Structure 1
Amino acid sequence: MSSPRAAHAVPSLSAAIPNQPGLHDPYWYEATLAEHFIVEMLDKASGIRSVTIQVPAIPGIDDVMVACEDGRTIWYQVKHTRAEANLTFAYLANAPTDGKSLLRQLAEGWKTVVAQGDVELHLYTNRKLGQQAVRVQRAGVDTILPPLSEFWTTLSTLVGSAGHINEIRMPSDMEPGWQQWREELDSLSDAEQLRFLRSLHIDADQPSLPQLTRNTVERLSGIFGIPVPIAQRGRAQLDTQLRRWATSLRGNQIAVTREEACRALQIPGEEIIGDHEFPPPEPFFPSRSGFVADLAQTVCSLQRGIIFLTGSAGCGKTSIVSALANRAEPVVDLRFHAFRPLTPGAATLPQDYSQTATAAALWGDLLGRLRQRFYSHRLWEAGVPVRNDFLLDDPGRLREHVLRLAQLLATDRGRPTLIAIDGLDHAARAKTAAPEQLRGRPSLLEALVPPEDVPEGVVFIIAGQPGWSQYPL
C-alpha cells in the first residue's frame, strides 16, 4: 500500500515536549484507576474478585491487577501525562539508552504471568494515540515510523485472524515499524508473540484524573442507589485506605477484596446514637435477681415473639434489661435505650434525648451495632449495608436489614437473637409533649415490629411505663 504520509514533511523525534513540573498526578491516576475497579467490584455482576495495586515481583505490568471470579487476571500498566503529549510509536517501541522499551517491558511482564492462566494485558493512558509518522535513525538508516493509531488498528485486525505470527503481513509503509516490534518481542517465541499481541489492549485517550475521580463517584452512586454527595463521602473513605493499599503498610495482605472494600467504606462509631452499653446499677437490688433469672429463662425458651416489660417509673425496668445484657452469658444481644436512665445516686432526672426518639435512630443504631459486633469481618458475605446513609437513613430499610441479620445470626449460633428496646414511654412523651424534638421524623413507636412480623429466631423485649395511648396496639 502506498503511503502519502511519507511524501509530507514529518517532524523529527528530537522535537521534545517541554518538561512539566513533577507532581504526584501519575501516582494518584494509577491509584484512582484501582479505586475505580474496587468500586466496580462491589457490583455483584462485575465478576471481579479482588484488586491489587503494585503487584510485587512482576515488573512492567504491575501497576494494577484485577482478579476475576472466572480465573482471568487483567493487568494494567498505567501511563499518565498532564501535558498534551500523545502516545507515539517511538514512545512505545524505542528503547532508552539506559533501559528497555515499554513494549519489551510489557512483553517480559506478560511472560512472567501467562503461565498462571487466562491473562489480559492493558496499557492504560490518558494520552491519545499518535497521529503522525516520525522519522528516526535506526542502525544508521533513515526510517519512518508509522502513526501508532493506524499501526495498532491494522495490527490488531491482522492478529485476530492470523494462525502464526509469520502470517501477519503489514502494509509496506508499516513494515519497518512491524520489524521493530518483532525485534522488541524477541524474548518471546513465535507462538508467545502471537498470544501476547492477542492479549494486549491499548486503552488510549482515557479520562483525566479529575474525570476518572468523578466517574468513580458516579459509579459508587449508581451501585448503591445513593445521591452523589453521599457517594463522595464514601469515595473519601476509600481514598483514606489508599495510604495502606498502595504502600508497604499493607503488609502481606496485598489484594483488596470485597470484604476489605466494605470495611473501608464504614464510618465506625459515627452512626451509633445514644448511650446503650451501660452496666446495671451497683448495688443491684437483690429483690430483682430472682425476677431477672425467671425472665432470662422465659426469653431463652422462645423462638420468636415480643415480651412487654412494664412498670412504674423507677421500678427497675432499665436495670433489668442491663442485667440481662451483662450476665456471664448475656441474654440480650442488642439493646437500645430511648433515654439516659435514672440511676441510684443521680442528682436530677435526666431529660429525654430527642436524637433517640426517632425510628431512624432506633433501627440505625441497631444496624450499626450488628455491623460492628457480629458482622465486621463478613460484611459482603452477609449482605450487610456498610453505612446507614447508603440506605438514606430510611427507617423501613434499616429495620428490614436489622431483622434479616438478626435472623441470620440466630441461624448461625443456633439460638434466638434477643433485642431489647427500652424507654417507650420517653418516646411517647417526646411525640406528644415535645413533638419539635422529632423535627418531623417518624417516632420509633411508629416503627416497632408487629408481633406477626417478627421473624423466626428473633425475640424482642420492649420496656416502658404503662398507660400511654401512643403505644402501638
Structure 2
Amino acid sequence: MKNYDSGSHEPYWYESFVGLKYVLKMLDTDSGIEAVAFQSQMINKLDDVVVKYADGCLRCIQVKHTRAEKNLTLSDLIRPTKGNFSSLLQDMAVAWKEGLKTIPNCIPELYTNRPGGKNWSRTANDAVYPPLHEFWKALKEEMKRAGNLSGIRLDSTYSAVWTDLLAQLGVLETDINKYEFLRKFRLRFSRPDLEKLESQMHEQIGRIFGVSSPSFQREIFEKLAASLRVWTTSIQGKVDFVYPEEVYSRLSLQVEVDDRVHLIRPPVPFFKSRLVFMERLIEQLGSRKHSIIFLKGSPGSGKSSLVSQLAYDAPAIINLRYHAFKPITPEMKEIPPDAGRTVDPRVFWTALIDQIRTEFTGKLYQYKVPIRCDYLTVDEIRNHTLRLAQELSNINQRPTVIAIDGIDHAARAGYISHKHESTFLPWLVHPEEVPSGVLFLLAGQPPEGYPAYPQWLKEDRAEVLHLEVPVVTEDDIRQMPTEADSHSLDA
C-alpha cells in the first residue's frame, strides 16, 4: 500500500493547526479556555494538543492525520496494528490512567480527519463489527442511561465488539476507571482536512477581530502560523502553555512611535513668565473640571512650546501627544506646509492609539486593544482610543490627558484642499461625549477667522475652558542668548 504521508510534513502541520484552532477559540471569552499547549510534556500519548479550561479540566488530544482516503473503523480503534501489541484505544487509556496522577480532570480525545466507517466489517478472527458511528452513538446513549459499566446493556449484534473493547480497557483494572474513561473519551472523526482547517480559522479570525477582508484575515493567520516557530520549538525556549496575552502580543502590529513627530522637545530657554502659567495649566489638567481645555494664542506666541515643556517637565500629566504641524524652530530653513498626512483623521487617531497601546503592554488581551488598525474604520479607531483612555484613567486614578497641537494648521489644510471634512477636525470629540476620565488639551490660534473649527469650540460652553497664552515679557527677552553669547560658546 502506498504511504501517502511518507516524506510529507503535512501530519505535523495538521497537528499544529488543530492547536491553532484552539488558540483562536481561546480568544473568545465565552470559550472557557485558559491556555493551549503544543506537544505538552504533561502527559504521554495524549500530548499533541492540550487545552486548559478555566474550570480545571484539561482536554488532552491525540491528533491522527492522513491524506489517504481510508475510513476509521472500530478495528482501527480497538485492535492492535501490525507490529504492535496494543491498540490505539489501549494506548490512550494507559496515557489517561498515568495522566490522572497529575491531571485529575483529563478529558482524552482522538481527533482525526479520517471519516468514520459506514459498513459492517469482519475481523481476522471472524468477529463482526458494526460501523463506528453507529456503535459509538449507541454506547454513549446506553452509558448515560446505565450510569455505570455493569449496567450497560447493548444490542446482541454489538456483543463481539463490546467484548473486545472491554478487553483493551483491562489496563484500567476497575470498572469505575473503565466507565470514567469511556464517559470522558471524545472520539472526533471526519474532521476537516488541512486546507479546510485553515479556511475555518480565517473565518474564526473574521468573527473574533471583526475583520471582513479576506486579505487581512490571511495576514493575521500567517502571523499566527509564524508564531508556531516559538510555540512548538526550542529556538526561543519552548513555552509550556500559550495564554491569550502571548497571542495578542504576537499578533499586534508593532509600531514604534517616532519621537521626532509627536514627542518634540521644548525650546531653550523656556521663558520664566510661562512657568506661572504652566503651573495653573497643570492644576486645571489635574482637577479635570473641564473635558476640553483650549490653549489659544497668536502665531509664535509659544503654544507648542508650552505643550512640549509640559510633556517633558510633567510626563505624568500628558499621556498622549499629537502635533498636526511641526513647530517652527530657529534652525529651520523652510516653514513646513500646512497640508499633509498629519491632518488626515485616520493618521490622527491611529497615531493616538499606537501611543496608548504601549501603555497596555502585557495587558493587550485583557483590555481588548486592537491588534492593528488598518482593518478598522476611523470611527472604530476613535471609539477604541476613547475606551482605552478611560481604562488608563481607571488604572492611574487620574485623568488621561490627550494633547493635540496645531488645530489651526488642520483648518488651513482644509482650506487649501477645499475638503474640510478630510481633516481630523470633524472627528474631534464633542465635549459632552468625552469620557469622564479623559481630558483633551487643544492648542491653536483663536477661533475667530477659523470657521472650520468645531462649533462647540467657538461657543461659550461650561465643558470647555479657553486659556490665552501670555505675551512675552521684557524679562523673557533678556533670557535669550545674545550673539556675543553664541560666539563665546562656540569658542
Is the counterpart of residue 131 in structure 1 residue 131 in structure 2? no
Give yes or no for contact 1:362–1:444 (8 Å, CA) kept in 2.
yes
| Structure 1 residue ranges without an equivalent (≥5) | 1-15
Q: Which residue of 2 aligns with 1:165?
A: 149
Superposition RMSD in Å: 2.8
Q: Equivalents in 2 of 1:75, 1:272: separation in Å?
A: 46
Tell me: CA distance 1:103–1:428, structure 2 relative to 1, closer, same or farther (3 Å).
Answer: same
- The answer to which of 95-104 and 320-329 deviates more is 95-104
Show the 5 A alignment for 1:426-465. 426-435=409-418, 442-465=422-445
Q: Which residue of 2 aligns with 1:4?
A: none
Could you give the per-residue CA deviations for residues 237-266 of structure 1, whole angstroms, max 9, x where no partner exists? Answer: 212222212223564742222222222321
Q: Which residue of 2 aligns with 1:26?
A: 11
Is the counterpart of residue 408 in structure 1 residue 398 in structure 2? no
Q: Which residue of 2 aligns with 1:198?
A: 183
Partner amino acid for 2:171? S
Tell me: CA distance 1:34–1:375, structure 2 relative to 1, closer, same or farther (3 Å).
Answer: same
| SS of structure 2 residue aligned to 1:348 | coil
Could you give the per-residue CA deviations for residues 357-389 of structure 1, whole angstroms, max 9, x where no partner exists? Answer: 1222222221221122x1122223223333223
Could you give the per-residue CA deviations for residues 33-74 of structure 1, whole angstroms, max 9, x where no partner exists? Answer: 222222222223222222222221311111222222333322
| Structure 2 residue ranges without an equivalent (≥5) | 456-491
Tell me: CA distance 1:428–1:162, structure 2 relative to 1, closer, same or farther (3 Å).
Answer: same
Shift of 1:273: 11
| SS of structure 1 residue aligned to 2:261 | coil
Tell me which of 82, 90, 94 is aligned to 1:104. 90
Q: Which residue of 1 aligns with 2:171?
A: 187
Shift of 1:149: 3.7
Task: Give me the TM-score of the superposition, normalised by structure 2.
Answer: 0.82
Shift of 1:270: 7.3
Show the 5 A alignment for 1:54-453. 54-96=39-81, 97=83, 100-114=86-100, 116-132=103-119, 136-137=123-124, 141=125, 143=127, 145-171=129-155, 174-188=158-172, 189-229=174-214, 230-249=216-235, 251=237, 253-269=239-255, 275-285=261-271, 288-327=274-313, 329-352=315-338, 354-372=340-358, 374-390=359-375, 392-395=376-379, 397-435=380-418, 442-453=422-433
Give yes or no for contact 1:59–1:105 (8 Å, CA) kept in 2.
no
Tell me: CA distance 1:282–1:29, structure 2 relative to 1, closer, same or farther (3 Å).
Answer: farther
| SS of structure 2 residue aligned to 1:326 | helix
| SS of structure 1 residue aligned to 2:452 | coil
- The answer to which of 265-274 and 251-260 deviates more is 265-274
Partner amino acid for 2:182? L
Partner amino acid for 1:385? P
Partner amino acid for 2:444? G
Tell me: CA distance 1:451–1:326, structure 2 relative to 1, closer, same or farther (3 Å).
Answer: same
Tell me: CA distance 1:471–1:318, structure 2 relative to 1, closer, same or farther (3 Å).
Answer: same
Q: Equivalents in 1 of 2:27, 2:123: separation in Å?
A: 47
Give yes or no for contact 2:36–2:51 (8 Å, CA) kept in 1.
yes
Q: Which residue of 1 aligns with 2:454?
A: 472
Could you give the per-residue CA deviations for residues 117-141 of structure 1, whole angstroms, max 9, x where no partner exists? Answer: 444322111111123455554xxx5
Q: Equivalents in 1 of 2:222, 2:257: separation in Å?
A: 17
- The answer to which of 88-97 and 29-38 deviates more is 88-97
Tell me: CA distance 1:337–1:142, structure 2 relative to 1, closer, same or farther (3 Å).
Answer: same
| SS of structure 2 residue aligned to 1:256 | coil
Q: Percent identity, please.
A: 38
Shift of 1:294: 3.9
